[in-house]
Amino acid sequence: MAINITMPALSPTMEEGTLAKWNVKPGDTVEAGDVIAEIETDKATMEVEAVDEGTVAQILVDAGTEGVKVNAIIAVLAEDGEDAGSVSAAPADAPAPAAEAPAAEAPKAEPTTEPAKQVASTPVQMPALGTGDDRIKASPLARRIAALKGIDLNALKGKGSGPHGRIVKKDVENAQPGLSAPTGAAPASPDGLILPQILDDRVYAPDSYRLEPLDGMRKTVARRLTQSFMQVPHFPLNVDIALDKLLAARKGINEAAPEGVKVSVNDLLIKASAMALMEEPDCNASYSDNGIAYHNGAHISVAVAIEGGLITPVIRNAETKGLAEISAEMKDLATRARERKLKPQEYMGGTFSISNLGMFGIKSFASINNPPEGMIMSVGAGEKRAVVAEDGSIKAATVMSVTLTCDHRVIGGAEGARWLQAFKRFVETPESMLL
């Protein structure tokens, strides 16, 4: 009996991924535990192991295919003793597709010699086909390709190579640029909220720029941050913090630390953030429609820039960890983040985020909140500034500006201000983190 290999869910929120690479080919024998493929999610590349043994009979999804839905059949194994050449995919439970034509004129199946790939592309808004005499006859695959390529099916109406002029895959793939949808048209957002983002050919000639397709990470960042900016009521709180004592403490810590241990300013800010969350637990919270979730531990997400986007590896229960442990863990997570080798549990489940652009000389900035976390702190550069001392004299001090962006559904202005007071105290008097 055929054994279906399906697209695995590599994280709780994964809905689709890219089948980056096959490590097997038809005819190969595999055993349980063999690495057979590599899957790219929006944040990482992960290996897929076989859970059964057998001979690879068919590979239904080619390497490099994007938008492969979780649980879609990607390959078929033949069991021991079966003829791999005669094995096909076992039936998969799936909802019946919606009818695309009146019952009296159901569209005929498109002839093909290729195996039926039970794979869906990135969700797009299908073009309307009309009704009655105005109906455009087109296969579902042709409609999807047309939506992705921006082809106007009206230009191909009645000219398809399928039965009765039905538009099929090759008709859309062979469509000339002149058959594109009118300028300004584009697939609508799946949620109906985000307007299409396209370049007008009348302003930017198509040959005047290079178009780089979006990868999974870019799509995810764009979608999540757009949703956050539109749906989460943000408000910022700003404060200046003196760093001189923290810098002196860091120097002493590193001089006394064992060989190989080097604590960064960011490591100290992670620790101070975690302790401030424990002191102000109302701020260690997430909004949900069922209520406010108050987290027991401070799980600090740290924004790390990587090629093609950013990722936020999480230091879990940072309030319980020493600086050396935070430093070592952060270095490891950042290194593997840049290699896209993090596991989902290593970049999901944070309760608070830090984004630090101080190393680029940025004085201050405000980040977009990272739901479901209630707050994100933006850290600017530490710089020498003239400050007024308590006795009225003016002196030079190293000062950094931070901006706390809060989800107003969870955090009120007073709560956010109290958290910043606690954070500032821990940074300006680092010895207080030992109490």
Q: Tell me how far CA of residue 47 lies from CA of 17, 60, 283, 340, 375, in angstroms.
A: 12, 18, 37, 12, 33
Q: Give the Cα-Cα-Cα angle 81, 83, 88 (nearest 5 degrees).
A: 120
Mean pLDDT for 88-117 is 41
Residue 108: its pLDDT value, please?
41
Residue 157: its pLDDT value, please?
76
What is the Cα–Cα distance from 364 to 382, expressed in whole angstroms? 10
What is the Cα–Cα distance from 425 to 242, expressed in whole angstroms? 10
Q: How far is CA 242 from the centre of its chain?
A: 35
Residue 145: its pLDDT value, please?
73
Residue 294: its pLDDT value, please?
97
Residue 194: its pLDDT value, please?
58
Single out the residue of 371, 352, 367, 340 nearest to residue 13, CA to CA. 371
- Give the pairing of strands 54-59 and 304-306: unpaired
- For 57, residues 6+ apart whose C-beta sits below 8 A from its C-beta are 2, 26, 76, 77, 78, 82, 84, 85, 87, 88
Q: Which residue has the higher pLDDT, 341 or 375?
A: 375
pTM over cut 0.85: no
Q: Which span out of 26-30, 188-192, 417-421 was modeled with the highest average pLDDT? A: 417-421
Integer-rounded Cα Rg, in Å, for the chain is 28
Three-class secondary structure of residue 170 per DSSP? helix
pLDDT band at 360 (very low <50, low <70, confident <90, very high): very high
For residue 410, the 8-state DSSP code is T
- Record: fold of 1-121: OB fold (Dihydrolipoamide Acetyltransferase, E2P) (2.40.50)
Other beta carbons less than 10 A from residue 229's beta carbon: 11
Three-class secondary structure of residue 288 per DSSP? strand
CATH number for the 219-434 domain, one of 3.30.559.10, 3.30.70.3040, 3.40.50.2300, 3.90.550.10? Answer: 3.30.559.10
pLDDT band at 133 (very low <50, low <70, confident <90, very high): low
Q: Which span out of 6-10, 53-57, 277-281 was modeled with the highest average pLDDT? A: 277-281
Q: Which residue has the higher pLDDT, 375 or 217?
A: 375
Q: Which residue in the list 234, 295, 299, 408 is annotated as catalytic? A: 408
Q: Are 68 and 61 in contact (CB under 8 A)?
A: yes
Q: Tell me how far CA of residue 265 lies from CA of 317, 380, 398, 427, in angstroms.
A: 19, 12, 13, 10
Mean pLDDT for 265-277 is 98
Other beta carbons less than 10 A from residue 78's beta carbon: 23
What is the Cα–Cα distance from 71 to 118, expressed in whole angstroms? 9
Residue 117: its pLDDT value, please?
35
Residue 200: its pLDDT value, please?
80
Peptide bond just before 372 cis, omega within 30 deg? yes
Contacts 24+ apart (CB under 8 A), 170-179: 171/142, 172/142, 172/145, 172/146, 173/145, 175/146, 175/149, 175/151, 179/151, 179/152, 179/155
408 is catalytic: yes
Other beta carbons less than 10 A from residue 334's beta carbon: 18
Residue 333: its pLDDT value, please?
96
Report the interhelical angle of 265-279 vs 323-338 (nearest 10°).
Answer: 110
For the chain, give the percent of residues with pLDDT over 70: 80
pLDDT band at 84 (very low <50, low <70, confident <90, very high): low
Residue 399: its pLDDT value, please?
97
Single out the residue of 303, 304, 285 nearest to residue 295, CA to CA. 285
Sheet of 54-59: strand order equals 3-6, 73-78, 54-59, 29-30
Amino acid occupying residue 187: P
Q: Which residue has the higher pLDDT, 247 or 226?
A: 247
What is the Cα–Cα distance from 54 to 30, expressed in whole angstroms? 6
Joined tokens for residue 290: 């069922």
Where along the chain do the CATH 2.40.50.100 domains lie?
1-121
Element (H, E) at 216: helix 216-231
* pLDDT exceeds cutoff 90 at 110: no
Q: What's the N-to-C CA distance of the chain in angstroms?
A: 65
Where along the chain do the CATH 3.30.559.10 domains lie?
219-434
Q: Burial code of 162-199, b = ≥16 C-beta within 10 A, e = fewer? A: beeebbbbebbeebeeebbbeeeeebebeeeeeeeeee
